[in-house]
Amino acid sequence: MPSNNKKWFNAFNNPELKEEKWLEPSDALFDHISNEIFEKKKKRKLVYWLFGLGSFLILGVGAFMILDSEDKTLSLNEDTINIRPSQSSQNVDFKSASIDNLLSNSELKATDIKPLDGNESESLKSTVSTLPAQLRNNSDNSKNRSSKRTSIYDEELYPDKVFSAKSETTIANKNSQGSQSFKYDVKEKITISSLDGPSKASAQLRPLLSFSEINLLTFLLSSEEGLPPLLNHVYIDDPTDLKNALNNSFSLGISFGLSQWNFNLNNNYITALNPADFSFDNGRGINAGLSLEKKISSNLSFISTLQLEQIDFVSGHNSSANYDLLMETGGMMTNDIALTMATPLGFIDSEVIVNRADNTSTENTALVLDLHNDHRITNLSLDAGVSYALYKNKFINISPTVSLGANYFSSITNELSSFDIDQDGFNSGVTKITSVPQNVKTITPFVSMGLVLNREIGNNFKTGFGIAYRKTLTPIYSEGDFSTNLSSLNLRWTIAKMF
Amino acid sequence: MEHKEQDILIINKILQGDRLAFKELYNKYSKFYLLTCLRYVKTKEDAEDLVQESFVKIYKDLHQYDSSKSAFLSWSKRVVINTCLMFLRKKSVFNFMDNIVEMTNRFQMPSQAVENLNLQDLTKSIQALPKGYRTVFNMHVIDGYTHAEIADKLNISESTSKSQLFKAKKQLRINIDETELKFVGLYA
C-alpha cells in the first residue's frame, strides 16, 4: 500500500473536477454561503451595537451603583428624633461660606456637643422653646409627635419664613471612626415649603457628624434656590433602629457549604443511551464563596454571590468491542481499542488496552466492556439579585431571595477509572481519555431562588444559613437532539462583616 | 493565466468588495472542497455544510492570506480540513452509536488496481473506513500531514496515528480485493 500513497495523493489533489458531475454542489449552497457572509454581516453589526449598548447600560448602572453605593434610605421614626436649629449654626456666616467650609466648621463645633442625656434634654427644651408658637407643640414633646413633618426653623436667619421638611433622610457614607463614634454624610432631596407662599425649594439634608450611640446627627440644610443653608442637629432619643439599619446597610461575607447537582438529560439523549445501560449519579461537592449584600430599602436588599464549586460524579455504560488477533502487535497479546464513551455532558474518546490472558483462543472475540467513568467539574458562578426581609427582629432576619447569574465551568476532568470485560480469558489494562467533551457550554445562565436566615453576632458581624435552588436557563450540553440541563441545590453557611 | 495568478487576482477583487469575484472563487473551488469534505465525512449533506462553513471562514480570513508563503489552494484546503476535523470532534455521538449498535459498513469493490478506480469509488472506499482510520489516512496519505502533526491535531499519540494508518491501509486492501462495489449498512 505505501507504493500507492502517491496515487491516492494525486487522485484527490487535482482541483480540475469539471468532469465529476457527481460532485456538483446543490443549487442552494452558494445562496446559503452568500447569505451567511453578506447578510449576517449586517445582522452582526446590529448585534454588536446592541451588545455595546447593553454593555454601556450595565457598566453605567454598575458605575452608578458603585458611586452611589454609599447612599442609603432610612426612615427615621418621628418619635425618636428631635430637630432644632443648632446654636452653633448661628455663628456661621452661611451666606459667604462654602459648603466645604461649613462642613469643616460644623465638624469642629459639633465635636463639643455631647450625647443627649438628662441635662442636655433640659437645654434642648429651652432651645426648642425658641421655635414659633405654631410649631412648639410638635417640638416640646418629641415622644408624642405625630406630625409627618418635622419643622426646621431659625428665626435669626429666616425671620419671615417657616420651613418644613420631611423627616425621611438618606444616610450614606458611614465611616467608622473608633468603636463608638461614627460619621455620616447624608444626602437627600427634601422639599422645603414656605408657609407664606406656594414656592417650593429642593434642598439637601446632610448630617455631618454623630457621636456615641448615634445620639446626635448634624445636618446641613442647603437650598438650591438661593436660600442660605441651615445647620441643624438631630438628636435621636432611641438610636437602636437607626443603628441597626445603618449596620445592615452593606455587608461582605464568606460562605462555605455543600452542593448537589442534578443532571437532567432530555428524552432523546436518554433514549439513545438506554441500549448501553447508561447510568450516572448526581454530582456532589463543596462550595465556597464571597457574598455581598447592600440594602436598597428597609426590607429589600441587593445581593450578589461569587461562588466556586467542585463537583464530583460518576457515570458508566456498556460498550461493545472486538478483540482482533490480527491487531496484536509485537508479540503482545493485547489490543489497543478506541472507544467513544457517553457522559451526562456528552461524548468523550478513550483508548483502552485489553489483555488476552488465554492464548488458546484462535478467533476474534466480541467483547462487552463495562466502563466506569469519574468526572469532576470546577464551576465558578456569579449571581446578582434581591432578598426581601420577610421577618425580622433585632436578632434574626428571614429573607427569601431570587437572583440571576451565570455558571462558568473552569475545568472538566474525566477519568476512565476502570472497565470490566464480560468474557473470561481477557482482562483490563491501561486506559486513557483522549478527548474532552466537545459540546459542553462552559458558560450558562441560571436563575436561583432561596431562603436565607441571618442572625447578628456582635455589633459588626452576622452569620447566616442559606439554601438555594438553581436551574440553568440553557443546556449545559447540547448536540443535535441531545441536551442536558442542570439544576442544583446549594446549602451555605455565611459569616459577614457589616459596614 | 496560471492558477496562482488567477487566484491572486480573484482574491484582490474579493478584498475590494467584489461579490462577483467571490462567486468566481466558489465556482472554481467548490467541487474540490466538496471532494475534500467527502473524504472526511460520509454524507454529501454533511459535506456541503462543511463547504459552506469553510467558505465563510475563508472569506473572513482572506485578508490574512499571504500569497508569498503558499498557494491559495493549499491555504484554503487547510481551512477546509480544519473545519472537517472540528466537525468530526463534534460528531463523537456517532462513534458512540457505533460502539452501541455495532454498526458495520461493508462494501465490496471490483478487483482493480487503485489507479483504475474512478474518483467516486475511491471516495466511497475511504468513506467506508471507520472514522479514526479514515481521518488518519486522509490526513497522512492525501493531505500530507506528518504523524506528529496528526497527533497534535487529533490529540492522540504518534504511535496511535501510525497504528490507525496501518489499520486503515489494511482495511482498504481488504476492501479493494473484494469483487463488487456495494454499500450495505447492517445494524445488529
pLDDT in tens, A245-283: 444 467 888 999 999 999 999 988 888 888 788 889 999
Residue A35 in domain:
no
Task: Tell me the chain B residues in contact with residue A346 when contact means C-beta distances shorter than 8 Å.
Answer: 92-93
Strands (E), A138-249: 149-152, 163-166, 168-176, 182-186, 189-193, 200-210, 216-223, 230-236
Contact between chains at B52 and A347 (C-beta distance less than 8 A): no
pLDDT of residue A94: 33
- Residue A177: CB atoms within 10 A of its CB come to 11
A283 shares a domain with A225: no
Contact between chains at B122 and A4 (C-beta distance less than 8 A): no
Task: Tell me the chain B residues in contact with residue A7 when contact means C-beta distances shorter than 8 Å.
Answer: 114-115
Average pLDDT over residues A184-188: 36
pLDDT of residue A365: 82
Right CATH number for B3-90 from 1.10.1740.10, 3.40.640.10, 3.40.50.450, 3.40.50.2300?
A: 1.10.1740.10
Residue A41 in domain:
no
Residue type, A323: Y
Task: Tell me the chain A residues in contact with residue B24 when contact means C-beta distances shorter than 8 Å.
Answer: none
Helix runs in A35-90, H state only: 40-67
What is d(CA A20, CA A17) in angstroms, rounded to the nearest whole number?
Answer: 5
A330 shares a domain with A196: no
Could you tell me if A327 lies within 8 Å of chain B, comparing CB atoms?
A: yes
Task: Look at A143 and A49; give whichever has higher pLDDT.
Answer: A49
pLDDT of residue A327: 75
Contact between chains at A13 and B142 (C-beta distance less than 8 A): yes
**CATH assignment at residue A431:** 2.40.160.20
What is d(CA A93, CA A101) in angstroms, rounded to the nearest whole number?
Answer: 10
Contact between chains at B100 and A434 (C-beta distance less than 8 A): no
Contact between chains at B22 and A37 (C-beta distance less than 8 A): yes
pLDDT band at A450 (very low <50, low <70, confident <90, very high): very high
Contact between chains at A36 and B155 (C-beta distance less than 8 A): no
pLDDT of residue A159: 41
A317 shares a domain with A340: yes
Q: What is the mean pLDDT of chain B?
A: 78
pLDDT of residue A47: 62
What is d(CA B47, CA A26) in angstroms, rounded to the nearest whole number?
Answer: 11
Residue A132 in domain:
yes
- Contact yes or no for A1/B172 (Cβ under 8 A): yes
A318 shares a domain with A194: no
Task: Look at A32 and B180; give whichever has higher pLDDT.
Answer: A32
Nearest residue in B to A35, CA atom: B56
Task: Tell me the chain B residues in contact with residue A272 when contact means C-beta distances shorter than 8 Å.
Answer: 93, 97
The answer, yes or no, to whether residue A384 has pLDDT greater than 60, is: yes
Kindly indicate whether the ipTM for this predicted assembly is greater than 0.85, answering yes or no.
no
Contact between chains at B160 and A351 (C-beta distance less than 8 A): yes
A436 shares a domain with A302: yes
The answer, yes or no, to whether residue A329 has pLDDT greater than 70, is: no
A141 shares a domain with A260: no
Provide the β-strand partners of residue A304. A292, A384
The residues, ordered by sequence, that sit 6+ positions from B64 with a Cβ below 8 Å of its Cβ are none
Task: Tell me the chain B residues in contact with residue A23 when contact means C-beta distances shorter than 8 Å.
Answer: 31, 34-35, 38
pLDDT band at B94 (very low <50, low <70, confident <90, very high): low
Task: Tell me the chain A residues in contact with residue B141 when contact means C-beta distances shorter than 8 Å.
Answer: 5, 8-9
The answer, yes or no, to whether residue A417 has pLDDT greater than 80, is: yes
Total domains in the fold of chain A: 2
pLDDT of residue A249: 67
pLDDT of residue A186: 36
Q: What distance in Å separates residue B89's CA from the closest CA in chain A?
A: 7
* Structural domain spans, chain B: 3-90, 92-186
pLDDT of residue B26: 93
What is d(CA A68, CA B158) in angstroms, rounded to the nearest whole number?
Answer: 60
In the numeric block, the cell 448615634 is attached to A214
A90 shares a domain with A202: yes
Range of the domain at A316: 248-498
pLDDT of residue A44: 62
A286 shares a domain with A229: no
pLDDT of residue A59: 67
- Cell numbers placing A125: 427644651
Mutate to test the interface with B, among A6, A16, A22 (most CBs of B within 10 A): A22
Nearest residue in A to B3, CA atom: A15
pLDDT band at A403 (very low <50, low <70, confident <90, very high): very high
Q: What is the mean pLDDT of chain A?
A: 66
What is d(CA A161, CA A227) in angstroms, rounded to the nearest whole number?
Answer: 11
Average pLDDT over residues A372-380: 92
Contact between chains at B141 and A275 (C-beta distance less than 8 A): no
Residue A8 in domain:
no
**The last residue of a domain, from among A239, A262, A277:** A239
The answer, yes or no, to whether residue A37 has pLDDT greater than 70, is: yes
Average pLDDT over residues B111-123: 69
Nearest residue in B to A26, CA atom: B48
| pLDDT tens for each residue of A70-106 | 433 333 333 333 333 333 333 333 333 333 333 333 3
What is d(CA A176, CA A183) in angstroms, rounded to the nearest whole number?
Answer: 7
CA A17 to chain centre: 58
Rama region for B74: left / alpha / beta (φ>0; ψ in -120 to 50; rest): alpha
Contact between chains at B122 and A347 (C-beta distance less than 8 A): no
Average pLDDT over residues A105-111: 32
Nearest residue in B to A482, CA atom: B93
Mutate to test the interface with A, among B31, B150, B156 (most CBs of A within 10 A): B31
Task: Look at A113 and B7; give whichever has higher pLDDT.
Answer: B7
pLDDT band at B28 (very low <50, low <70, confident <90, very high): very high
A20, A24, A32 member nearest B52 (Cβ): A32
Average pLDDT over residues A141-158: 35
Contact between chains at A329 and B163 (C-beta distance less than 8 A): yes
Fold of B92-186: Arc Repressor Mutant, subunit A (1.10.10)
Provide the β-strand partners of residue A186. A171
pLDDT of residue A457: 83
Average pLDDT over residues A24-50: 79
Q: Give pairs for A182-189: CB < 8 Å, separation 24+.
A: A182/A210, A182/A214, A182/A246, A183/A208, A183/A209, A183/A210, A184/A208, A184/A209, A184/A210, A184/A217, A184/A246, A185/A70, A186/A217, A186/A219, A187/A71
The answer, yes or no, to whether residue B81 has pLDDT greater than 90, is: yes
pLDDT of residue A67: 57
Nearest residue in B to A329, CA atom: B163
A25, A276, A435 member nearest B100 (Cβ): A276
